[in-house]
Amino acid sequence: MKYGHFDDANREYVITNPKTPYPWINYLGNEDFFSLTSNTGGGYTFYKDAKFRRLTRYRYNNVPIDDGGKYFYIKDEDTIWSPGWKPVKTELDSYECRHGMSYTKFISSKNGVNAEVLQFIPLGFWGEIQKVNLKNTTSTVKTLKLYSFIEWALWNAEDDMTNFQRNFSTGEVEIEDSVIYHKTEFKERRNHYAFFSVNEPINGYDTDRESFIGLYNGFDSPEAVVNGKPSNTTAHGWSPVASHYIEVSLKPGEEKDFIFMLGYVEVDENNKWESKSVINKKPAKEMIAKFNTVEKVQTAFYELQVYWDNLLGKISIQSEDVKLDRMVNIWNQYQCMVTFNMSRSASFFESGIGRGMGFRDSNQDLIGFVHQIPERARERIIDIASTQFEDGSCYHQYQPLTKKGNAVLGGNFNDDPLWLILSTTEYIKETGDFSLLNELVPFDNDMSRAKPHFDHLKASFYHVVNNLGPHQLPLIGRADWNDCLNLNCFSKDPNESFQTTGNKKDGKAESLMIAGLFVVYGKEYIDLCTQIGKDEEAAEAQIHVNNMIAAVKEFGWDGEWFLRAYDYFGKKVGSNQNEEGKIFIESQGWCGMAEIGIEEGLVEKSLNAVDEHLNCDYGIVLNSPAFSKYYIEYGEISTYPAGYKENGGVFCHNNPWIMIAETKIGRGNKAFEYYSKIAPSYLEEISELHKVEPYVYCQMIAGKEAFKPGEAKNSWLSGTASWNFYAITQYILGVKPAYNGLSINPCIPSGWSGFKMSRKFRGATYNIEVLNPNNICKGVKTIFVNGKEIDSNVIPILQPNKEHTIKVIIDK
């Protein structure tokens, strides 16, 4: 069952039934100031960090779900309704929620009144605009009462949910004209406050939640709205809110606009006050003045649309498959921007309180974003590398506000360092900017210990070399990419965290996934060294890569597929000898991408095993058979029910690794089969089962052994976004940046006649047409550049600021 439709021309997903199977959300904001909004008006807003600078409150795991947000109430005589349907849930005469590129529109009507709410964050601005348009479509005068509503958070979202004995006494606000200011804790250690304004005179307000809602009411029937009048309250402690009350009279056919702004302000420590206990409102008033007319708002909205036109214009395709085109051209790239901004910090499944930005996550997210804004990618790489230690290890995550590492989720995940080689080499290939390697980057954010960024890459490479186990395979550490494969934990206490507990301190377990990862990015490291003239370093690194390949062939092959690991006791994990968990996806993907044993047929055999044992209707499951009992020596992976998350679920992040491996052996049909099984636009028809948004990737789809196969969880903030974009554009469509140009090597379904791609690269536009006259999957026979045949499948760097025509013929 569908709950809406794609509007590709406007780059929107249009939700026409508010009762989606789960809240379907969008992200507003592009850099520092962000907002989440659901299709019924739920969500919250924050500056940079959803833990330390959250402006509005949101309750996770609530009943009913998705209660609390940024709401508008319209009272039309005895009828009360909301443009986003919730929280009132009055049946509307019409309803649309249009999620677009960093904006959301609600368009609805009731009893002859049309309401449109446009929500967006202007570029480079620390405030969210909510433009409300009300129109009377009847032949009589309409007298309406409009109420806005947000609920302030107390700045530290974790403290807000725990420290009630303090927080119920600290809430403070100021009201001036049509602006409500939230200044809790401003008088002591904060130099920041928030405000909620409207560009019209108001007829009343409320800032105390109990007075507005009523102690025994819900968001659906606030006392002030039901009674038709505000209380004009000023909050002192308890739970501060912000609600404007406006009386509106509309003649037949008349419409009126109101511009609300939810903003964040920082002031100089020495300039906090206008007068005693009165905050310095000057910067807030300057912000409000920037967008206090409809014309100013429309200009800012247009600028936002142009911004996305430019971003999405850097890579666009034209194929025979509209679902593929909308993923590559619109939604996958859009999600890559969101994951770049958010990592795994703030969604409707991630509270924004715990993780911050992941070292591993952020490096991977960057590969789907680097073509859009390379300068921001460069900055991010430096931020990530700055949390590394001299031995190559690193904090597993860092807080975006401070950019300093933290060990909330533990450390010593031994795959982490290698991802820095991925992000750095992809950035340099995209931009040609080798100067990054000379940038002085601190270790552990200490500039006195700074070294050139290249030294960080070298430390990442040798961290693996210096941490090998009994089979000369990489020690897994606390875990590798699979946080739930905890081979050194041995936890019996339900109050322990699998990610922070290590009861076997000498950690002997080894990872075949890291082995494959090391070969892939070891080769990249060697190539980079060669490019910059470090031939001796390249030669030495090659010895270590060769040794790893030999170790994988000798100790990592199980006869039909690659092992997953060796456990603490030196026993095989992911072997046909095991009772459960005989085969895992990660090592097949990475050893396949590394082409280990490709000449002996090992890669093909392992991928055949993936198809036989792990492939299902909804994607490739992580392991099979799923674990039916708790294996203390394996850790968290065996705690999940069969078919969910890491225990036999379709963990979408790793499916692209198999897609890429399939292209290595030329099987375009199989690669695209896997792609289309998890790409959201192909799943729109089963939205009732799938549950989450049909326009963005999710982390997990329930696997073949689950109670409900095909049901998904944890949408938006997943490495799935960047890896699928990387797999489809660079390996299936086969247009991949290289140090010396743009490599063209498609591996497509044999049924395709070809495709077109426009690719902006190093200042030039490459208009690429791929033709497949004899319906094969792979094999570039001829390439013409501006009408002239070249003898390589790497197109050289072409003249910037011009368009160039590339014709590619696939044939035997």
Q: Which residues are catalytic?
A: 483
**Residue 4: strand pairing partners:** 15
User: Which residues, 6 or more positions from 277, have their beta carbon under 8 angstroms from its beta carbon?
Assistant: 187
The strand order across the sheet containing 794-796 reads 735-738, 741-744, 794-796
Q: Among 457, 441, 437, which residue's Cα sits nearest to residue 449?
A: 441
Question: Is 557 within 8 Å of 602 (Cβ atoms)?
Answer: yes
Classify residue 481 as left (phi > 0), alpha (psi -120 to 50) or beta: alpha
Q: CA geometry: angle at 185 spanning 179 and 190, to 5°?
A: 95
32, 48, 405, 442 from 400: Cα distances, Å: 10, 6, 9, 17
Question: How far, in Å, CA of 53 to CA of 518, rounded?
Answer: 38
- What type of residue is 362? S
Q: Indicate the pairing of strand 240-250 with strand 204-208.
A: antiparallel
- What type of residue is 117? V
Q: Among 739, 737, 800, 797, which residue's Cα sits nearest to residue 764?
A: 800
Q: Is the dihedral of CA 339, 342, 347, 352 positive or negative?
A: positive
Query: Token pair of 279, please?
Result: 């905050």
Q: For residue 32, how far is the Cα from the chain centroid?
A: 15
Question: How far, in Å, CA of 397 to CA of 406, rounded?
Answer: 6
Question: Is 660 within 8 Å of 589 (Cβ atoms)?
Answer: yes
SS3 620: strand
Query: Which long-range contacts does 302-311 make (Cβ < 8 Å, 24+ apart)?
Result: 303/122, 303/123, 304/101, 304/102, 304/103, 304/120, 304/122, 304/123, 305/101, 307/30, 307/123, 308/11, 308/101, 308/102, 308/334, 311/337, 311/372, 311/373
Helices (H), 556-686: 585-593, 602-613, 655-664, 668-678
Question: How far, in Å, CA of 112 to CA of 92, rounded?
Answer: 11
Classify residue 421 as left (phi > 0), alpha (psi -120 to 50) or beta: alpha
Residue bearing tokens 């080894």 = 510
Q: What does the chain come to in residues?
A: 812
Classify burial at 560, counting beta carbons within 10 Å of its beta carbon; exposed 0-12, middle 13-18, buried 19 or more: middle
Residue bearing tokens 């789960």 = 22
- What type of residue is 188? E
Query: Token pair of 444, please?
Result: 């552990």
Q: Indicate the pairing of strand 179-182 with strand 173-176.
A: antiparallel
Question: How far, in Å, CA of 131 to CA of 761, rounded?
Answer: 38
For 111-172, list the strands marked E by DSSP: 113-120, 127-136, 142-155
Q: Among 366, 382, 357, 460, which residue's Cα sits nearest to residue 723?
A: 366
